[in-house]
Amino acid sequence: MAEVDVEKQRMVAVKSSRRKFWGKLLLVLYIVFIGFDNTYLGSSFSPFSFIPGFFNSEETGLNCPANKPLTPDFKNSLDTILFDPEYKDKSIKRLSNAVRIPTVVQDINPDPKEDIEYYNNFFKLHDYFKDTFPLVHKNLKLEKVNEVGLLYTWEGSNKELKPLLFMAHQDVVPVNNDTLDQWTYPPFEGHYDEENDFVWGRGSNDCKNLVIAQFEAIEQLLEDGFKPNRTVLLSFGFDEEAGGQLGAGPLAQFIRERYGDDSLYAILDEGEGLTKIDDNTYIAAPVNAEKGYVDVEITVMGKGGHSSVPPDHTNIGIAAKIVTLIEDNKSPFKMTLDNPLYGTLVCAAEHSTKIDAQFRKTILAARKCKSAMKRLTRVIAGIPILRDLIRTTTAVDIFQGGVKANALPESAKFLVNHRIDLKSSVEETLQEDIKMVQKIAEKYNFGVTRDGEQIIRPITENGSIDVSISKALEPAPRSPTSGKVWDILAGTVVDVFENNFFKKDNGSVYVTSGLFSGNTDTKHYWVLSPNIYRFIGSVIDPELAKTLHSVNEHVDMPGHLSAVAFVYEYILNVDQYGDE
């Protein structure tokens, strides 16, 4: 049988899914909170009936209340960052020039110790950082981890306080050369479109904008004379787009060896921003949880032979029957009150006048009524772009088998990628696949093994079916959405936007929980802090978000500047209000 690089194919398949993820999630929020109507429920939808007076917000109180804005005493530069034309011009140049350096990674990349030249563009980016942010490089300690990963340490005066960590990644996804003529501006030109106030190019929105925002915020704090009590860390991986094994993984271990488990005050990485849900009303949903995943390899090993005398089902046919059974028996939908998506929905229901009225009642009633929660689950299950957030997903991504038309395949192998629901686990997901395999094995008289060793069903004369895990990650620990750490985060968001960014429009901001179906580099950092949030301080434009990892990726400058302002003020607020 021809040799096939399974891991490479798996990574290609997973990567393809991830490239669609960011725009998909943001489109979800747009449809639910801005454009939701019965169209999305299908033609069979009928309005729900409710007992009059079942939900009374005055009696029960809001579950998505307004957060108190938190303003630091330090005389800060928020107005300069957000509204000064000269500062904006400099920021445009800083971001544009970073985009021009093509720090591209593939799905599989060499270890820097084995091929350092592969990362030459990253070293150009490092030189650019040094030239562009002189105060950062004068006052912060820079350490390189695994040659290319960057760890900056801004030492605080109080060593008893846990450090605050900001994350981002230096790498960007490749550009498909076949699409070059579809780009409005060349992908690595870093073009600034003055008319629309956009910076264009690969990495402009994922996520060199965040790297630059974090640098700009600290550079400005240093220029303003701020000296932190609490140590601040910047950790920049270089292969997030390929899983972070070479970048974030070693960086996390380096930090762990220095500070220990549960040693960081909080961790902030790329993630969700603010979504407009009504006129001058916005939801900010820092992502406080991530689904898990597991790649399950299923291999049918049986008899070969000449195709002129075939059995009723070849090994490929047996494998196909397993695939069909697995796809026809997907995991059930499970909506719960502690799913971060529910927090987002409640916020929209309580503060948006544009959300469908019956959908609003269902969301709010689900807090007290099991039947309402079941109805809400059915509604979400009927919305393709929402349903994956409340179940374990199943995707058969890779299939191998056969080498010649007249030779029966002696084996057939396929890979199933699951994104695991928050209430499930790797083992539970695997066992569901094993159940499906056993059913086919019993029907067609095959044995079943796990990892080629544990015999689940005795091997027969027809052969055996092996089930094994090639890669796995449990669902992420859920970070708290109450308490002092959360209040400082939420209070900073409200102050930056309500009292500054939106002050002319009297915009309102509500902060709630959020959920990803994918994973960020934070998966390597779980042991370092219980307070991990994936958030960027920008208002998300759904149309702009569609360009992530795609043609015409670009970022709006007001959004970039607000991200700078958020990092700037969050450091100040944590330093002032976050003493343990």
**How far is the C-alpha of 376 from the C-alpha of 363, rounded, in Å?**
6
* Continuous segment of H or E residues that includes residue 393: strand 393-401
Q: How many CA atoms lie within 13 A of 31 on its CB side?
A: 15
Q: Which amino acid is at 194?
A: E
Placement of tokens 């700009």 in the chain: 216
**How far is the C-alpha of 24 from the C-alpha of 385, rounded, in Å?**
7
- Residue among 290, 287, 110, 122 nearest 208 (CA): 122
421 given a catalytic annotation: no
Catalytic residue among 107, 171, 216, 239: 171
- Is residue 169 a known part of a binding site? yes
**How far is the C-alpha of 262 from the C-alpha of 251, rounded, in Å?**
15
- Residue partners of 434: CB distance under 8 A and separation at least 6: 448, 450, 456, 467
Structural contact between residues 322 and 399, judged by C-beta atoms closer than 8 angstroms: no
Q: How many CA atoms lie within 13 A of 246 on its CB side?
A: 22
3-class DSSP state of 131: helix
Q: Estimate to the nearest angstrom the gap between the alpha carbon of 338 and the chain centroid.
A: 19
Count the neighbouring beta carbons within 10 Å of the beta carbon of residue 157: 11
- Is residue 191 a known part of a binding site? no
Structural contact between residues 432 and 330, judged by C-beta atoms closer than 8 angstroms: no
Catalytic residue among 107, 216, 240, 433: 240
Query: What's the angle, vertex CA 51, arms to CA 47 and CA 56, rounded to 5?
Result: 105
Using the 8-state DSSP alphabet, how is residue 470 labeled?
E
**How far is the C-alpha of 517 from the C-alpha of 20, rounded, in Å?**
11
257 given a catalytic annotation: no
Using the 8-state DSSP alphabet, how is residue 162 labeled?
P
Structural contact between residues 570 and 213, judged by C-beta atoms closer than 8 angstroms: no
Query: What's the angle, vertex CA 152, arms to CA 473 and CA 115, rounded to 5?
Result: 65
Backbone φ and ψ for 250, nearest 5 degrees, come out as -65, -35
Q: Estimate to the nearest angstrom the gap between the alpha carbon of 211 and the chain centroid.
A: 16
Q: Which amino acid is at 176?
A: N
**How far is the C-alpha of 217 from the C-alpha of 78, rounded, in Å?**
10
Please, which residues bridge with residue 267 across strands? 165, 532
- Is residue 306 a known part of a binding site? no
Q: 81: buried, middle or exposed (CB in 10 Å: 19+, 13-18, 0-12)?
A: buried
Please, which residues bridge with residue 378 across strands? none
3-class DSSP state of 567: helix
Structural contact between residues 437 and 329, judged by C-beta atoms closer than 8 angstroms: no
Backbone φ and ψ for 231, nearest 5 degrees, come out as -65, 140
Backbone φ and ψ for 235, nearest 5 degrees, come out as -125, 115
3-state secondary structure 484-532: HHHHHHHHHHHHHHHHHHCCCCCCEEEECCEEECCCCHHHHCHHHCCCE
Binding annotation for Zn(2+): 169, 206, 241, 269, 549
Catalytic residues: 171, 240
Binding annotation: 169, 206, 241, 269, 549
